[in-house]
């Protein structure tokens, strides 16, 4: 697995998104753990989760706990695995998503994530989504405090615009290491954030890079150039999509969600797929 950097840490250039293993339509735990172990076997060293990846109100942190069990039960060395989790987004259990970006909540959420993950410091902790009721600087100030307290090793933000990226970088004193935004062939509006991260040397982690749980399998039929390039290379359109993202900038680390070993194993092969400038141009124009 080729590597890219988050802060001063090298991680595999393709990560694993854990969300599909814990929300609607989730598989049984055995298959989820097999998926995580397959990813580790393939060289994945970045696993993305959040305390809000669960279904019911009484199972907050379901995905964090699942990942902790999978890592504990893995037969190999996991010391180089970076688990990235998030706080500030909530699921009351009725299918809705709410926000709480208050410093009090973020610090309590971090403490709870620490316990579920069973670590002394969270590898990467990201503010999940801006809360319009809380000044952004107060939310980011909580991340700064968590860094200073040694409860988190790295700090990042998610669903942020360029002004928020710059503001977070200032508040964190240059310690902002990642931005996790939606980006896919169907969702190009985070291109400005991607380019800013490339200039600032901050990792850009596209979420739902293949279009989301329900649409990832149809990527080739929805965007013909991805299917055409895939046919020429005898690979899947999903591999082409991830390779296209990797070619955008050295800071891009896609985190495709997966709940089956075969899908994450297909995704990681994108690191070895070399696309021509002409192919990249066709894919850029496909949105």
- Tens digit of each residue's pLDDT (9 = 90 or more) over 208-236: 999 998 899 999 999 999 999 999 999 99
Find, among 70, 69, 164, 178, the residue nearest to 123 by Cα. Answer: 178
Find, among 152, 147, 146, 178, the residue nearest to 165 by Cα. Answer: 178
Q: Which residues are catalytic?
A: 53
β-pair partners for 158: 180
Domain ranges in the chain are: 3-218+245-274
What's the CA gap between 278 and 240, in Å, rounded?
14
- Tens digit of each residue's pLDDT (9 = 90 or more) over 169-183: 999 999 999 999 999
* Residue 287 clears pLDDT 80, i.e. is over it: no
β-pair partners for 82: 46
Kindly report the pTM of this predicted structure.
0.96
Which pLDDT belongs to residue 244?
98
Looking at domain 3-218+245-274, which of 3.40.1280.10, 3.30.1130.10, 3.20.20.100, 3.40.50.720 is its CATH number?
3.20.20.100
């Amino acid at each position: 697995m080729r590597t890219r950097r988050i802060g001063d840490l090298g991680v595999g250039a393709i990560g694993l998104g854990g969300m599909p293993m814990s929300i609607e339509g989730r598989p049984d735990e055995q298959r989820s753990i097999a998926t995580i172990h397959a990813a580790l076997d393939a060289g994945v060293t970045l696993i993305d989760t959040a305390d809000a990846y669960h279904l019911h109100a009484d199972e907050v942190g379901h995905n964090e706990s699942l990942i902790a069990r999978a890592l504990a039960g893995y037969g190999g060395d996991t010391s180089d695995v970076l688990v990235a989790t998030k706080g500030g987004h909530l699921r009351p259990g009725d299918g809705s998503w709410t926000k709480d970006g208050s410093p009090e909540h973020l610090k309590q959420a971090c403490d709870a994530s620490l316990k579920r993950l069973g670590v002394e410091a969270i590898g990467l902790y990201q503010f999940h989504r801006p809360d319009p009721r809380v000044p952004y600087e107060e939310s980011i100030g909580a991340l700064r405090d968590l860094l200073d307290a040694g409860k988190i090793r790295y700090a990042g933000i998610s669903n942020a615009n360029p002004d928020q990226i710059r503001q977070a970088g200032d508040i964190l004193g240059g310690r902002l290491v990642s931005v996790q935004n939606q980006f896919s062939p169907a969702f190009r509006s985070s291109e400005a954030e991607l380019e800013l991260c490339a200039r600032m040397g901050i990792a850009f982690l596209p979420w739902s890079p293949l279009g989301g749980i329900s649409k990832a399998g149809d990527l080739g039929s929805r965007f013909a150039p991805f299917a055409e390039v895939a046919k020429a290379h005898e690979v899947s359109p999903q591999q082409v999509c991830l390779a296209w993202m990797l070619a955008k900038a050295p800071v891009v680390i896609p985190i495709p969600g997966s709940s089956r070993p075969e899908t994450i194993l297909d995704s990681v092969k994108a690191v070895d797929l070399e696309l021509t400038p002409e192919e990249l141009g066709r894919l850029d124009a496909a949105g």
